[in-house]
């Protein structure tokens, strides 16, 4: 079976009074709809990694993540779909939650490891799989040049050009891929990364390492809400209102922060009237299951 998903994510317009008043036309690329589980940027990042595993005749995908990792879940489902076995090495003591339940349902074997050993992933891989020539190492979050290559394809799918594109950033792989796509097509589009980690300036290094040609882009570091997985009442309220007003499901870990940034920057007149703006919905809505008690 070809390593391909046949669904092209659509672009939808978001209409609100705020965008009208500021003269902005805002769209959202629905990468959350690519696949119910292998959603968003996790599919784009995995695509060429899986093709490489297939080319090397590997049989088991081995990857890493926290107990609520979208990447673990996407890898479990992609392995099931494309005929690989899978192992997830999970940071921290043994737990069970909705994400890990879905991983196991897709046949993923879970190994829990303490936070200290978790730091050295190649060592963990050697420890568990040194006698398994079919095992294939995939770094946490799919961070790699192959991951960026898959993400760059998003630009080729767009029906028109935009003045600005915004995306949430964790490892920076998705951002780098999109910037590479913009450069390759010689577009004038300005790219905006919204880091979801605290002190997100470090992401610039990670993005720059994966750029094929150096490029300028914007980094909005004021929207981490205290760090990864953190959210205050204002962000939770924003997510609730957004979902209730648009029917588009988002979560507060990634896309919620990026859209909050978009609304805030628009309100502060950051974009010139007449601008056409594209926000990337990078998926990950299963992450909501870990935050039910916040809503
Ligand atoms: C993992 C993830 C990101 C971060 O992507 P990076 O390539 O690591 O920057 C963004 N959005 C969602 C929904 C994710 O699951």
Q: Whose CA is nearest to atom 4 of ligand 1?
A: 170
Is pLDDT at 51 greater than 90 in this prediction?
yes
State the distance from the centre of ligand 1 to the C-alpha of 87, rounded, in angstroms: 21
Give 6's pLDDT tier (boundaries 50, 70, 90): confident
Distance between Cα 21 and ligand 1 center (Å): 31
Average pLDDT of the residues in 208-222: 98
How many angstroms does the Cα of residue 131 sit away from the middle of ligand 1? 32
From the options 2.60.120.10, 3.40.50.300, 3.20.20.120, 3.40.50.1100, give the CATH code of 41-142: 3.40.50.1100
| CB 40 near ligand 1, within 6 Å | yes
Please tell me if the CB atom of residue 141 comes closer than 6 angstroms to any atom of ligand 1.
yes
pTM of the model: 0.97
Residue pLDDT, tens place only, 133-150: 999 999 998 889 999 999
For residue 184, report the distance from its CA to the centre of ligand 1, in Å: 22
Dig out the tokens for 263 from the structure.
């609304």
- Ligand 1 site, residue 252, Cβ cutoff 6 A: no
Give the count of alpha carbons within 13 A of 171, CB side only: 20
Ligand 1 mean position to 168 CA, how many Å?
7
- 3-state SS string over 219-252? ECCCCCCCCCCCCCHHHHHHHHHHHHHHCCCCCC
- pLDDT at position 141, please? 85
Q: Percent of the chain, pLDDT > 70?
A: 100
Rounded to an integer, the average pLDDT of 34-53 is: 96
How much is the average pLDDT of 43-62?
97
Residue of higher predicted confidence among 287 and 103: 103
What would the mean pLDDT of 34-45 be, rounded to a whole number? Answer: 96
In the structure, what pLDDT confidence band is assigned to residue 25 with cuts at 50, 70 and 90? very high
Scan for tokens 């979560």, then name that residue.
251
Pocket test for ligand 1, best of 70, 170, 210 (most atoms within 8 A of CB): 170
What was the pLDDT predicted at 143?
A: 86
168 pocket-lining for ligand 1 (C-beta < 6 Å): yes
**pLDDT tens column, 153-191:** 999 999 999 999 999 999 999 999 999 999 999 999 999
Is residue 283 within 6 Å of ligand 1 at its C-beta?
A: yes
What integer is the mean pLDDT of 122-127?
A: 98
Nearest ligand 1 atom to the CA of 176 is: 7
CATH 3.40.50.1100 segments of the chain: 11-36+146-294, 41-142
CA of 166 to the centre of ligand 1 (A): 13
How many Å lie between the centroid of ligand 1 and the Cα of residue 169? 6
Query: What are the CB-based long-range contacts (under 8 Å, 24+) for 126-130?
Result: 128/62, 128/87, 128/89, 129/60, 129/62, 129/87
User: Mind listing the pLDDT tens digit for each residue in 228-266?
Assistant: 999 999 999 999 999 999 999 999 999 999 999 999 999
Angle (CA) 58-59-65 rounded to 5° is 95
Instruction: Report pLDDT for 1.
Output: 78
Q: Band the pLDDT of 65: cuts 50, 70, 90.
A: very high
Neighbours of 147 (CB within 10 A): 26
Q: Of all atoms in ligand 1, which is nearest to the CA of residue 172?
A: 9
Six-digit token string for 73: 């879940």
- Closest atom of ligand 1 relative to the 193 alpha carbon: 9
Whether 173 lines ligand 1, by a CB cut-off of 6 Å, is: yes
Q: Where are the alpha helices (DSSP H) in 56-108?
A: 70-82, 98-105
> How do strand 135-137 and strand 60-65 relate by DSSP bridges?
parallel
Domain 11-36+146-294 architecture: 3-Layer(aba) Sandwich (3.40)
* Ligand 1, atom nearest to 45 Cα: 7
């Amino acid at each position: 079976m070809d390593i391909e998903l046949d669904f092209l994510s659509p672009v939808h317009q978001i209409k609100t009074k705020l965008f009208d008043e500021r003269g902005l036309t805002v769209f959202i690329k629905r990468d959350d709809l690519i696949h119910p589980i292998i959603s968003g940027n996790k599919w784009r990042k995995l695509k060429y990694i899986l093709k490489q595993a297939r080319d090397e005749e590997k049989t088991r995908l081995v990857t890493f993540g926290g107990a609520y990792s979208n990447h673990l879940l996407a890898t479990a489902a992609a392995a099931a779909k494309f005929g690989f076995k899978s192992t997830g090495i999970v940071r921290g003591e043994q737990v069970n939650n909705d994400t890990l339940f879905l991983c196991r349902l897709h046949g993923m074997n879970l190994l829990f490891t303490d936070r200290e050993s978790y730091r050295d992933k190649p060592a963990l891989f050697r420890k568990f799989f040194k006698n398994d020539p079919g095992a294939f190492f995939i770094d946490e979050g799919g961070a790699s040049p192959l991951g960026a290559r898959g993400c760059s394809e998003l630009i080729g799918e767009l029906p028109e050009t935009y003045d600005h594109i915004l995306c949430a950033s964790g490892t920076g792989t998705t951002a780098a891929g999109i910037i590479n796509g913009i450069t390759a097509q010689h577009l004038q589009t300005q790219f905006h990364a919204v880091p979801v980690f605290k002190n997100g300036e470090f992401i610039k290094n990670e993005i720059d390492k994966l750029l094929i040609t150096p490029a300028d882009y914007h980094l909005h570091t004021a929207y981490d809400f205290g760090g990864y997985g953190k959210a205050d009442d204002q962000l939770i309220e924003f997510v609730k209102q957004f979902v209730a007003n648009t029917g588009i499901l988002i979560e507060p870990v990634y896309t919620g922060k990026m859209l909050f940034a978009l609304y805030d920057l628009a309100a502060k007149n950051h974009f010139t009237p007449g601008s056409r703006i594209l926000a990337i919905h990078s998926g990950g809505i299963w992450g909501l299951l870990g935050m039910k008690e916040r809503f």
